[in-house]
Amino acid sequence: MPFAQIYLIEGRTTEQKRAVIEKVTQALTEAVGAPKENVRVWITEVPKENWGIAGVSAKDLGR
């Protein structure tokens, strides 16, 4: 059973997260031949102040 864990900076819409789940499921199905019913996708949203880029939080960078 393929399991994909995706970390995203908070702020994506429900539609965007649905698209991620759909496309990751499709990619795993094609890449490893797993039935899509067996694919699991877990999205973890991280607050912008907890995501660092080059030593600065994403919030401070205006992301």
Q: Which residues are catalytic?
A: 2
Q: Are 10 and 48 contacting, i.e. CB atoms less than 8 angstroms apart? A: yes
Q: Find out whether 63 and 9 touch, Cβ atoms under 8 Å.
A: yes
The whole-angstrom separation of Cα 63 and Cα 26 is 28
